[in-house]
Amino acid sequence: MPTLTQFRLCPFSRSIRMLLGELRREVTLLDERPWEWRAEFLRLNPAGELPVMRLDGGEVLCGAYAISEYLAEEVAAVQEGGEGRNPVLPGNRLERAEVRRLVDWFHRKLHLEATDALLEEKVISRLRGSGGTAPDAGNLRAVRANLKYHLGYLDHLASQRRWLAGEEVTYADFAAAAHVSCADYLGEIDWSTLGAARGWYARVKSRPSVRAILAERVPGAPTPPIHYSDPDF
């Protein structure tokens, strides 16, 4: 069986796990704390980043970009000449460009401006055992303002479309849900102020591929709020 090396509160790992769940592809999960820079892990991926997928033949795919596009190509190849839609990157070339614009938005921009710092301050610094330094209040304030802006954009998208990139669910929804679910685990999202985004997230949460992830708890991380894994929140 293929393996997926991941960390349970890594948004990139989560997005690929959701995709694999949607495709009904089973993998063996291997937990990794990439900040420990284990030599064995660095041999697998010299970038020292997650997720990493190892196929049955031993081939190694590094990072959410390479893995998601690989899975999309694999699905397309199986379907060639046949029926069905591609649940990773559906639609025509222009529609896929819109999916990729949004994946880039969440996996790069939202991560850089919000979820990276939240996870570092509230989870990784604890697990790293770097002496229990208190989160930097000024930094957290700026990051929370960024997160609010991103949730506003999500709300805007969700008010115009059933799924973020259009009428069908795509990898853009899973990329967004991966970051949103990590921030929500940390109690950083005030859903009472969000309308359309909340409806979208309720639809995402009810998918089995996402439910399985939300049922997990991460030792050493703060306890998530009660609504965290409830699709009806």
* Position 96 contacts its own copies (CB under 8 A): yes
Task: Determine the length of the chain.
Answer: 233
Q: Which of 31, 36, 66, 128 is in the footprint of its own copies by CB under 8 A? A: 66
Q: Which of 39, 77, 137, 226 is in the footprint of its own copies by CB under 8 A? A: 77
- Within positions 97 to 116, which residues make up the interface with its own copies, using CB under 8 A? 97-98, 100-101, 103-105, 108-109, 112
Q: Which of 10, 18, 19, 62 is in the footprint of its own copies by CB under 8 A? A: 62
* Position 85 contacts its own copies (CB under 8 A): no
Nearest to 177 by CA among 157, 131, 137: 157
* Position 142 contacts its own copies (CB under 8 A): no
Binding mask 22-61 for its own copies (x = CB under 8 A): ------------------------xx-x---------x-x
* Position 78 contacts its own copies (CB under 8 A): no
163 backbone dihedrals φ, ψ, rounded to 5°:
-115, 165
Q: Which stretch binds its own copies (CB under 8 A): 63-71, 129-137, 167-175, 176-184?
A: 63-71
Interatomic CA distance for residues 215 and 183, integer angstroms: 15
What are 41's two structure tokens?
């892990």
The runs of H, that is alpha helices, within 45-195 are 63-79, 93-104, 116-119, 125-127, 137-160, 171-185
Mapping DSSP to helix (H, G, I), strand (E, B) and coil, where does residue 99 land? helix
> Taking the complex as a whole, how short is the minimal distance between the CB of residue 12 and its own copies, in angstroms?
10
> Taking the complex as a whole, how short is the minimal distance between the CB of residue 205 and its own copies, in angstroms?
26
The end-to-end CA distance of the chain, in Å, is 35
**DSSP secondary structure letter of residue 135:** P
> Taking the complex as a whole, how short is the minimal distance between the CB of residue 227 and its own copies, in angstroms?
29
Interface size with its own copies, residues (CB under 8 A) = 29
Mapping DSSP to helix (H, G, I), strand (E, B) and coil, where does residue 130 land? coil
Nearest to 197 by CA among 153, 233, 141: 153
Closest CB to its own copies among residues 104, 155: 104
Nearest to 55 by CA among 28, 76, 21: 28
Burial class (CB in 10 A: 0-12, 13-18, 19+), 63: middle
User: Rule CB under 8 A: which residues touch its own copies?
Assistant: 46-47, 49, 59, 61-63, 65-67, 69-70, 73-74, 77, 93-94, 96-98, 100-101, 103-105, 108-109, 112, 153
